[in-house]
Structures are given as structure tokens and as C-alpha cells.
Amino acid sequence: MSEEKLAQMPEDVSHEEALPEETLPEETLPEETLPEETLPEEASPEDVSPEDVSPEDVSPVSENVAEDCQVHITPCPGCGLLLEGDLSFCPKCGTKIIHDNINDKIDAYNSALENKKQKKSVIKVIVGVVLGAMLVAGGILGVNYYYQQKEIQRQEEIARQKKAVYDYAMLAQEYCNRLNEIFTDLSQLDGAWNIINNTNGSSNYYYNYYYYSTRDALIRYVENSFSTQIYNINAAYDALDNYYQEINNTVPDDENARKIKEMIGEIHTAYRELYNNIIVSQNGNNTHAIANMYSKVTDLEMVINNVKIEYQE
């Protein structure tokens, strides 16, 4: 068509003319009567309480959940694009996609759970073994401590017993020392009485009068001359008697202590006889008795020295 003809065409004429719409007859379709299905009403969360749900109504999660899932959506680790399916590379950035298998996760979880249970079992066994060892060790330590305490008590009792015997021997030594102090006094006074008592009298009245007068004078002379010895003997008598009472009443359970007590008993009896003869009766001739008592005191001191060496702290 030439340009002139195109120019002569009216401007309001469009390139395409609107075609009349054909009116199609409406077909009347028979209405099908569908059976009404009674659908169960869905319960809202508010209508369900925890008491209405029993453990049997809850089905366990299947381990094959991966097989039930048809579409996997994985975010691209490079750009974050959500990818459907099992694409190996991101179509946007080309990052390699690594798909996690849910079964592997389940297996890994179960394996980790089993390992955790095993670790707990091992820990329980270890704790049990440690506690058992601690109990055994505690029992052994307790028994050792008990016997150690018993041994300590036994040693302390032995030490107390030894000290008691040692103190007893020292008390006996004081008795001997006090007795040794008056041996000389006893001998001197006994000699004086021996001289007076050996003076022979006579049937002559005047001589007898002179004799007895002289004897009384001699007695007074002896009493005055040996007053120190007499005082020492009298003072020692009370002291020795007190020592003897204490020694006799406080005897430790020991063989040596019993031996000391027995020897002191014999010495003290002999000492009382000497005291009565020399001080009370003013008799002489006690030299043998004094020597015998001195020998017994010497034997007693030997026993005391042995005890002091054996029981000395």
C-alpha cells in the first residue's frame, strides 16, 4: 500500500477490527448428586488436654523419615538460596551442595546415645570400683588405726606400770636411807647398854646398893651422852613406820615390787625388835641382830638398784 493511501485513512481506525462475539448456547448439565461424606471434625489444640492423650496414642517417629520426604529443601552454603531436590551445585553461585541424609543423622544420634549409655555404664563401674576400693582401704585403715591405738594404749599402760614400779623402788630406797642413818646410833647405844648390863652385882647389901646406885648413874650418863642418838632413833621410828605403811599399801602389780615389799616387811619387823630392846628395854647384846638387819638392807638395796636400771625412764 502506498504512503498516500495510508495517509488518507482515518486516524481513529485501529489496525484490528473487533469481531463480534458469538454467543454459544448454554448446555444444561445434569446435576450429580454426590454422597455426603461425614468428615471428622478436627480438634483444635484448645480442645485437647495432656490428660486425654495416652502414650499408646502417640506413634514413635519412624527411622525411615527420609524415605517419606519427597522434596528436600537445602539452603546454599554460598549464597543462601533455597534449593529443592538433590542438586549437586547451586545454579546461582555454583557452590557445591552437600546433602545430609536423615538416616545417617538418626544412626549417628543412636550411636552417640549408645556411646553415652556405655560411657555412663563404664563411669558407674569405675565409680563402683573406686568406692569399693575406698571402702576396703578405709576398712584396712580403720583396722590398722584400731590396732595402732590398742598398741599405743598397751605401751602407755606399760610405761605407767614401769613408772609405778620405779617410784615404788625409789620409796623403798628412801626407807633404806633413813634406816642407814641410825645404824651407827643403834650400835653405839647398844654398846653402852651392853657395858652397863654386864656389871656383876654382889650379895653384900652395901655393895648392891652401890652397884644399883652406880647403874642408875650410868644409865643417866648414857642417856645424857647419847641423847642425840636416842633422839635420832625415836625420830626415825615414826618416819620408817610411815614409809612402811605407804610401801605396804601401794604395791604395783609387778614381781620386783612384790619382792621389795616382802623384804621391807622382814626388815621392819627386825627394826621394831631392835627398837624395843635398845630404846624401851635398854638392853644390850644386840650386835648380831643389828648386823643381820644391815645385811638385809644391803640385799634390798641391790634389788632396788636392779629395778631402777630396768624401769628407769
Asked whether 83 and 94 are in contact (CB, 8 A), the reply is no
Question: Which helix (H) or strand (E) covers residue 12, if one does?
Answer: none
- According to the model, what pLDDT value does residue 213 have? 58
Provide the percentage of residues in the chain whose pLDDT is more than 70. 66
d(CA 145, CA 151): 10
Question: Which helix (H) or strand (E) covers residue 269, if one does?
Answer: helix 255-275
Asked whether 192 and 230 are in contact (CB, 8 A), the reply is no
Q: What is the pLDDT of residues 24-35, one digit of tens each?
A: 444 444 454 444
Q: Which residues of 56-79 are buried (b: 16+ CB within 10 A; e: fewer)?
A: eeeeeeeeeeeeeeeeeebebeee
Q: What is the pLDDT of residues 282-312, one digit of tens each?
A: 887 888 999 999 999 999 999 999 998 888 7
What does the block give as the cell for 96? Answer: 557445591
Band (pLDDT 50/70/90 cuts) for residue 95 is confident
The residue extents of the domains of the chain are 68-99, 159-311
**CA-wise closest residue to 234 among 202, 197, 204, 275:** 275
Q: Which residues of 88-101 are buried (b: 16+ CB within 10 A; e: fewer)?
A: eebeeeeeebeeee
Asked whether 223 and 135 are in contact (CB, 8 A), the reply is no
- According to the model, what pLDDT value does residue 211 have? 52
Phi, psi of 74, rounded to the nearest 5 degrees = -125, 130
Is the pLDDT score of 215 beyond 90? no
**CA-wise closest residue to 274 among 263, 289, 296, 295:** 289
Look at the pTM and tell me if it is higher than 0.85.
Answer: no
Band (pLDDT 50/70/90 cuts) for residue 89 is confident
Q: Which residues neighbour 78 within 8 Å (Cβ) at sequence distance 6 or greater? A: 90, 93, 94, 95
d(CA 90, CA 171): 113
- Give, as one character, the DSSP assignment of residue 57: G
Phi, psi of 89, rounded to the nearest 5 degrees = -135, 150
Phi, psi of 29, rounded to the nearest 5 degrees = -90, 140
- According to the model, what pLDDT value does residue 264 have? 92
d(CA 252, CA 258): 8
d(CA 194, CA 186): 12
Q: What is the pLDDT of residues 149-187, one digit of tens each?
A: 999 999 998 888 888 899 999 999 999 999 998 888 888
